[in-house]
């Protein structure tokens, strides 16, 4: 389950050593071109002019507030989407109900909506003249151009991950173990915590990682509904764009690097913290 | 979808009620987050009337942008399905120094702001590119940016299934005399297929909506490298937000049909397998 | 895993609670400034300078900067704003229509504008291709970088400058439109915003960038290796400023608005590359006066121009783009 786990090479796979090397080179060359080089470029650009400008950009109060806001939004959006995702995946794999294919198609839709449209849609609902805008204004509740709409946008754009990661795993493990537990007198709740959840751990973990990464990196939709108020509703990605606008590429790259480092720490933390016992 | 287990059949009545409750909760969450905002967009578009919507959607630049978005997203999904599976396979079943690091890097495309993704790709593959290949402002550049932002999808959905997939099944198949490719096609692929299709579907959806990283490196040339989301943005900028909403709904319907189609392909694949 | 999930949920609840609490609060008089992105550097000096005056003492600011059109739409949709500045007048007109800015916003001595600029030809350091006129842009082998006029509101200034320059040279309307079509054959990249276009140009693409004088000066001040030429015929860019109706009786917002027209404030604008609207600002003489300067009103005003040139499906520019598209697809 852990990325570092060493798997003994299957005896039957001995003859396929050549193909194994072949696959490895394909994977690594592709990753080098598409992933490692661009990400390496971000590192290089950040430290191109030494450490001083980076430290300066990092100690800027606006950057720090943006960082706090980004983490806060992710801390609200990720747990909500995780609980929803696991619940929804269980429902879709283990239960039958009409309209399931429709629901399944619907889950992916948030990704297909371009960020400008996500922003437009939230404004149409919560904006001054939007569906709920008047009522919200009367009651003095700020949704748009404040934290709530930024959270809504983030939940929107990171919604599908956990569902999509967990569904295939649930399909793969089947229901035999759950039934055994049920026969032995376990309550559904016990079965879920003791049997199902440990078995789908891998899927949930990757779902959470992807959700978090996406929540941290979202720009378009959040920037539109944030109002971009400096030091108040500006997230790290909005801050990156601001720096870019002001010809401060080092500042922009530094903030991006902070995002990348947070994402890396989360991936590593989830790999390390994961219980060691295997699924079966 | 799932084969009904005996106990489920017996308890059908009881299960049903809780299922409805579950479906209700899921629908509620989806409504608040996704459906109501999208309904507002559709409503906004509908105010235009069919003739005006058609005028927006059928203009030659819009059609060209839609075509480009659709085809490049499909191509990206297909490439991801193949290469993503290979990468997942290598990350789970292979061992080599530095694997942990490579595995941790996979998600970074999501965490990087799109503008930075665009900038770095431009710095690498642009006019002053460090690699000496200039892809900037071509359709290849559109693909490149899309491949970058969609990289994690298939890898991350295949990985957990591959880990759950019991190795001994493969080994048994091998010891019974099946060859590598046969084992893969008959034993491994059917189990992975849902995950691959799911990941490819997400890649497609993300690719068709992606905007920030593409627009900088594509050069945004109408009829050549302009993607549909930019066209939507252009309509909003020109004060035609209803037209933008109309185009957004059309784009959404197209991608929704593709996603449904994928779901059916997947189901059909599973049936054929059983 | 159970603990992890539980912890996650707790975290979400706690985070939500913290923000609800943080949302409450108040304090000294506050002015919400919403502006387009380029004057940000200027406001970074203007606001502290204002706070040093009697009227500006203890006044706190919240600032929001972004693409002009986006900022205008945000204010329309409910972004709190007391003072607004945009790149072009139609963005102000949107707020007038929404009753957020008084119809009389353009009735002050300066017609509601706070800064001016002109469209210039940004070239590589030392102007290696010797570009000084509009006609040079359509010579064989010259690449022009110009943002997409449908995604960048500011890009419209460039196109109207090019178009008006033709008329000023005595050409007919047809010839001027033909010039635009020819010009766009030399545009290999149509970035979505003026800033992206500048990035493309600095990144090594193209021979000329159509941009504003203040942008070119800002780029130079930021250390980019560019020069710029003010062509003999060009358009006068005027940036509108207003106090919103939301500001109501807020005397601080009005005080800040008035401050921006003082000699001191205008001098700061000048140091950031903007042309002043107020007479007698030191340093204003560094800006060359083009022989044939014209305004958007000379070309029919924004309402007319937007309709004739920039309708996304049927207009001069839409036809030009479609014409180019057909030839690239062949």
Residue given tokens 């941009």 in the structure block: C211
All residues at 6 or more sequence positions from A54 whose CB lies less than 8 Å from its CB, including other chains: A46, A47, A250, A254
Are B11 and B89 members of one domain?
no
CB contact under 8 A, B102 and A28: yes
Are B128 and B200 members of one domain?
yes
β C233-243/C144-145 pair status: unpaired
Position B10 scores a pLDDT of 43
Gap between the Cα atoms of C1 and A274, Å rounded: 8
Handedness of CA A10, A12, A18, A23 (dihedral sign): negative
Are B65 and B42 members of one domain?
no
Task: Examine residue B248 and state whether it is found in any structural domain, yes or no.
Answer: yes
DSSP one-letter string for B191-259: HHHHHHHHHHHHHHHHHHH--HHHHHHHTT-TTTT--HHHHHHHHHHTT-HHHHHHHHHHHHHHHHHHH
CB A223 within 8 A of CB A177: no
Are C126 and C104 members of one domain?
no
Q: How far is C141 from chain A (nearest CA, A)?
A: 29
Task: Examine residue B52 and state whether it is found in any structural domain, yes or no.
Answer: no
Length, in residues, of chain C: 330
Task: Enumerate the residues of chain A whose CB falls inside 8 A of the CB of residue C217.
Answer: none
Task: Examine residue B240 and state whether it is found in any structural domain, yes or no.
Answer: yes
Structure tokens, A272: 């390390």
Nearest Cβ partner for C1 among A146, A198, A223:
A198
CB B207 within 8 A of CB B146: yes
Position C15 scores a pLDDT of 54
CB contact under 8 A, B237 and C311: no
Number of A–B residue contacts, CB under 8 Å: 342
CB contact under 8 A, B56 and C148: no
CB B232 within 8 A of CB A221: no
Are B206 and B239 members of one domain?
yes
> What one-character DSSP code corresponds to residue C239?
E
Structure tokens, A81: 């989407």
3-state secondary structure of A188: helix
Task: Examine residue B53 and state whether it is found in any structural domain, yes or no.
Answer: no
CB contact under 8 A, B59 and C152: no
The boundaries of the domain holding residue B33 are 1-46
Task: Examine residue C172 and state whether it is found in any structural domain, yes or no.
Answer: yes
Gap between the Cα atoms of A123 and A109, Å rounded: 19
Task: Examine residue B51 and state whether it is found in any structural domain, yes or no.
Answer: no
Among C267, C283, C299, identify where a domain stops: C283
Position A270 scores a pLDDT of 79
Partner A, chain B 169-228, Cβ-Cβ below 8 Å: 170-171, 173-175, 179-180, 183, 191, 194-195, 198-199, 201-202, 204-206, 208-212, 228
**C20 confidence band (pLDDT: 50, 70, 90):** very low
- CATH number of the domain encompassing residue B149: 1.10.3720.10
All residues at 6 or more sequence positions from A265 whose CB lies less than 8 Å from its CB, including other chains: none
Are C144 and C63 members of one domain?
no
If you average pLDDT over every residue of chain C, what do you get? 89
pLDDT in tens, A43-84: 898 998 889 989 988 999 999 999 999 999 999 999 999 999
Task: Enumerate the residues of chain A whose CB falls inside 8 A of the CB of residue C41.
Answer: 246
Gap between the Cα atoms of B117 and B149, Å rounded: 8
Are B17 and B85 members of one domain?
no
Are B81 and B22 members of one domain?
no
If you average pLDDT over every residue of chain A, what do you get? 87
β C113-124/C233-243 pair status: antiparallel
Are C48 and C33 members of one domain?
yes
Identify the CA nearest to C29 among candidates C256, C262, C258. C256
Position C23 scores a pLDDT of 44
Nearest Cβ partner for A75 among C15, C37, C70:
C15
Task: Examine residue C207 and state whether it is found in any structural domain, yes or no.
Answer: yes
Task: Enumerate the residues of chain C whose CB falls inside 8 A of the CB of residue B220.
Answer: 148, 151, 189-192
CB contact under 8 A, C321 and B243: no
Are B256 and B150 members of one domain?
yes
Identify the CA nearest to C312 among candidates C153, C167, C135. C153
Handedness of CA C139, C141, C145, C151 (dihedral sign): positive
Task: Examine residue C314 and state whether it is found in any structural domain, yes or no.
Answer: yes
Identify the CA nearest to A164 among candidates C72, C112, B202. B202
pLDDT in tens, A192-210: 999 899 989 889 998 999 9
Q: Provide the number of structural domains found in chain B.
A: 2
Backbone dihedral angles phi then psi of residue C140, each to the nearest 5 degrees: -60, 140
Q: How far is C175 from chain A (nearest CA, A)?
A: 36
pLDDT in tens, C201-250: 988 899 999 999 999 999 999 899 999 999 999 999 999 999 999 886 67
CB A203 within 8 A of CB A168: yes
Nearest Cβ partner for B209 among A23, A93, A113:
A113
Which parts of chain B register pLDDT below 70?
A: 1-15, 166-168, 180, 268-274
- CA nearest to C69 within chain A: A224
Task: Enumerate the residues of chain C whose CB falls inside 8 A of the CB of residue A83.
Answer: 5, 8-9
Identify the CA nearest to C51 among candidates C262, C282, C276, C252. C252
pLDDT in tens, A9-52: 444 444 467 888 888 999 999 999 999 999 888 889 899 888 99
* Residue of C200, C207, C317 to mutate for B, most B C-beta atoms under 10 A: C200
Residue A85 predicted with pLDDT over 50: yes
**C9 confidence band (pLDDT: 50, 70, 90):** low
Position C5 scores a pLDDT of 53
The boundaries of the domain holding residue C185 are 116-236+290-329
Query: ipTM of the predicted structure?
Result: 0.85
Position C8 scores a pLDDT of 54
Are B112 and B197 members of one domain?
yes
Are B75 and B14 members of one domain?
no
B162 touches A at CB < 8 Å: no
Are C173 and C196 members of one domain?
yes
Task: Examine residue C16 and state whether it is found in any structural domain, yes or no.
Answer: no
Are C106 and C251 members of one domain?
yes
H or E element that contains C237 = strand C233-243
Are C143 and C41 members of one domain?
no
Mean pLDDT of C69-77: 94
Task: Examine residue B13 and state whether it is found in any structural domain, yes or no.
Answer: yes
CA dist B20 → A98, B24, B25, B217 (Å): 10, 6, 9, 47
B19 touches A at CB < 8 Å: yes
Are C187 and C218 members of one domain?
yes
H or E element that contains A107 = helix A100-112
A146 touches C at CB < 8 Å: yes
CB contact under 8 A, B243 and C312: yes
Are C270 and C319 members of one domain?
no
Are B109 and B20 members of one domain?
no
Position A9 scores a pLDDT of 44
Position C327 scores a pLDDT of 63
CB C21 within 8 A of CB C237: no
Are B35 and B84 members of one domain?
no
Task: Examine residue C196 and state whether it is found in any structural domain, yes or no.
Answer: yes
Task: Examine residue B113 and state whether it is found in any structural domain, yes or no.
Answer: yes
Nearest Cβ partner for A241 among B38, B115, B267:
B115
Task: Enumerate the residues of chain A whose CB falls inside 8 A of the CB of residue B157.
Answer: 164-165, 168, 206
CB contact under 8 A, A75 and C11: yes
pLDDT in tens, A131-177: 999 899 899 899 999 999 999 999 999 999 999 899 989 988 888 88
Position B194 scores a pLDDT of 86
CA dist A48 → A40, A249, B120, B126, C171 (Å): 12, 11, 14, 19, 51
CB C152 within 8 A of CB C192: yes
Q: How far is CA C186 from the centre of its chain?
A: 24
CB B176 within 8 A of CB B249: no
Gap between the Cα atoms of C264 and C244, Å rounded: 23
Nearest Cβ partner for C1 among A201, A230, A242:
A201
Are B89 and B200 members of one domain?
yes
- CATH number of the domain encompassing residue C41: 3.40.190.10
Position A6 scores a pLDDT of 41
CB atoms under 10 Å from CB of C178, counted, come to 14
Gap between the Cα atoms of C147 and C237, Å rounded: 17
Gap between the Cα atoms of C225 and C204, Å rounded: 11
Q: How far is C307 from chain A (nearest CA, A)?
A: 23
- CA nearest to B220 within chain C: C190
Identify the CA nearest to B69 among candidates A126, A112, C214, C205. A112
Residue C97 predicted with pLDDT over 90: yes
| Rg of the Cα atoms in chain C | 22
Gap between the Cα atoms of B3 and A176, Å rounded: 12
pLDDT in tens, C113-162: 999 999 999 999 999 999 999 999 999 999 999 999 998 888 999 999 99
Q: What percent of chain C has pLDDT over 90?
A: 77
| Burial status of residue C204 (CB atoms within 10 A of its CB: 0-12, 13-18, 19 or more) | middle
Q: How far is CA C161 from the centre of its chain?
A: 15
Task: Examine residue B8 and state whether it is found in any structural domain, yes or no.
Answer: yes
Are C250 and C278 members of one domain?
yes
Task: Enumerate the residues of chain A whose CB falls inside 8 A of the CB of residue B91.
Answer: 3, 27
Identify the CA nearest to B161 among candidates B99, B95, B92, B106. B92
H or E element that contains A68 = helix A61-94
Q: How far is B44 from chain A (nearest CA, A)?
A: 8
Residue C108 predicted with pLDDT over 70: yes
Q: How far is C262 from chain B (nearest CA, A)?
A: 33
Are C174 and C221 members of one domain?
yes
Gap between the Cα atoms of B246 and B232, Å rounded: 9
Q: Provide the number of structural domains found in chain C.
A: 2
Task: Examine residue C297 and state whether it is found in any structural domain, yes or no.
Answer: yes
Nearest Cβ partner for B221 among C190, C310, C311:
C190
3-state secondary structure of A133: helix
């Amino acid at each position: 389950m852990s990325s570092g786990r060493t798997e003994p090479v299957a005896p039957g796979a001995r003859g396929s050593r050549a193909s194994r090397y072949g696959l490895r080179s394909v994977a690594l060359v592709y990753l080098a071109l598409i992933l490692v080089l661009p990400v390496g470029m971000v590192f290089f650009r950040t430290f191109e002019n030494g450490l001083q400008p980076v430290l300066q950009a990092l100690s800027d109060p606006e950057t720090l507030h943006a960082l706090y806001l980004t983490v806060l939004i992710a801390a609200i959006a990720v747990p909500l989407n995780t609980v929803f995702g696991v619940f929804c995946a269980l429902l879709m794999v283990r239960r039958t109900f009409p309209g399931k294919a429709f629901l399944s198609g619907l889950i992916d839709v948030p990704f297909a909506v371009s960020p400008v449209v996500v922003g437009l849609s939230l404004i149409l609902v919560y904006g001054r003249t939007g569906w709920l805008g008047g009522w919200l204004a009367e009651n003095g509740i700020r949704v748009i151009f404040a934290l709530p709409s930024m959270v809504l946008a983030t939940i929107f754009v990171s919604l599908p991950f956990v569902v999509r990661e967990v569904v295939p795993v649930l399909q793969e493990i089947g229901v035999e173990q759950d039934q055994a537990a049920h026969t032995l007198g376990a309550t559904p709740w016990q079965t879920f915590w003791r049997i199902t959840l440990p078995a789908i751990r891998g899927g949930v973990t990757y779902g959470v990682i992807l959700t978090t990464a996406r929540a941290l990196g979202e720009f378009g939709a959040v920037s539109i509904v944030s109002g971009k108020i400096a030091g108040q509703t500006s997230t790290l990605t909005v801050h990156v764009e601001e720096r870019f606008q002001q010809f401060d590429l080092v500042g922009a790259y530094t903030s991006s690097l902070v995002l990348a480092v947070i994402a890396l720490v989360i991936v590593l933390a989830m790999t390390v913290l994961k219980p060691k016992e295997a699924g079966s | 979808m799932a084969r009904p287990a005996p106990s489920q059949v017996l308890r059908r009545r009881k299960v049903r009620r809780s299922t409805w409750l579950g479906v209700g909760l899921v629908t509620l969450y989806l409504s608040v987050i996704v459906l109501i905002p999208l309904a507002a967009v559709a409503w906004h578009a509908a105010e235009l009337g069919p003739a005006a919507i058609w005028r927006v959607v059928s203009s030659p630049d819009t059609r060209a942008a839609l075509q480009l978005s659709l085809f490049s997203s499909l191509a990206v999904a297909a490439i991801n399905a193949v290469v993503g599976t290979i990468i997942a396979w290598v990350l789970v079943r292979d061992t080599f120094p530095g694997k942990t690091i490579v595995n941790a890097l996979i998600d970074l495309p999501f965490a990087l702001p799109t503008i930075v993704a665009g900038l770095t790709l431009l710095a690498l593959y642009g006019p002053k590119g460090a690699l000496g290949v200039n892809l900037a402002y071509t359709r290849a550049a559109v693909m490149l940016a899309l491949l970058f932002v969609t990289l994690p999808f298939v890898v991350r959905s295949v990985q957990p299934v591959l880990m759950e997939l019991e190795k001994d099944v493969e080994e048994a198949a091998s010891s019974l005399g099946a060859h590598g490719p046969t084992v893969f096609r008959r034993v491994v692929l059917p189990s992975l297929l849902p995950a691959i299709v799911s990941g490819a579907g997400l890649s497609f959806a993300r690719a068709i909506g992606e905007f920030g990283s593409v627009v900088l490196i594509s050069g945004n040339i109408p009829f050549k490298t302009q993607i549909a989301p930019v066209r939507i943005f252009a309509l909003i900028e020109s004060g035609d937000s209803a037209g933008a909403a109309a185009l957004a709904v059309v784009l959404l319907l197209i991608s929704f049909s593709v996603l449904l189609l994928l779901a059916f392909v997947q189901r059909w694949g599973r049936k054929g397998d059983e | 895993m159970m603990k992890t999930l539980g912890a996650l949920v707790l975290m979400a609840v706690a985070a939500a609670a913290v923000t609800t609490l943080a949302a409450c609060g108040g304090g000294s008089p506050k002015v919400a400034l919403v502006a387009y992105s380029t004057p940000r550097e200027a406001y970074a000096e203007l606001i502290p300078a204002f706070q040093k005056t009697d009227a500006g003492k203890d006044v706190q600011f919240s600032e929001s900067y972004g693409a002009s059109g986006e900022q205008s739409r945000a204010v329309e949709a409910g972004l709190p704003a007391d003072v607004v500045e945009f790149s072009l007048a139609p963005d102000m007109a949107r707020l007038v229509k929404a009753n957020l800015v008084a119809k009389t916003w353009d009735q002050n001595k300066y017609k509601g504008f706070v800064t001016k600029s002109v469209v210039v030809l940004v070239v590589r350091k030392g102007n290696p291709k010797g570009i000084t006129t509009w006609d040079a842009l359509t010579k064989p082998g010259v690449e022009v970088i110009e943002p997409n006029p449908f995604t960048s509101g500011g890009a419209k200034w460039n196109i109207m400058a090019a178009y008006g320059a033709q008329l000023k040279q005595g050409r007919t309307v047809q010839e001027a439109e033909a010039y635009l079509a020819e010009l766009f054959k030399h545009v290999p990249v149509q970035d979505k915003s003026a800033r992206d276009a500048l990035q493309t140009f600095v990144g090594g693409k193209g021979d000329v960038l159509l941009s504003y004088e203040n942008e070119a000066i800002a780029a130079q001040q930021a250390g980019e290796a560019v020069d710029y030429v003010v062509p003999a015929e060009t358009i006068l860019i005027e940036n509108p400023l207003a106090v919103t109706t939301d500001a109501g009786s807020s005397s601080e917002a009005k005080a800040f608005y008035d401050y921006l027209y003082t000699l001191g404030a205008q001098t700061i604008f000048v140091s950031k590359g903007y042309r002043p609207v107020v007479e007698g600002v030191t340093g204003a003489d560094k800006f060359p006066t083009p022989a044939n300067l014209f305004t958007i009103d000379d070309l029919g005003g924004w309402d007319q121009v937007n309709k004739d040139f920039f309708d996304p499906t049927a207009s001069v520019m839409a036809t030009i783009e479609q014409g180019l598209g057909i030839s690239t697809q062949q």
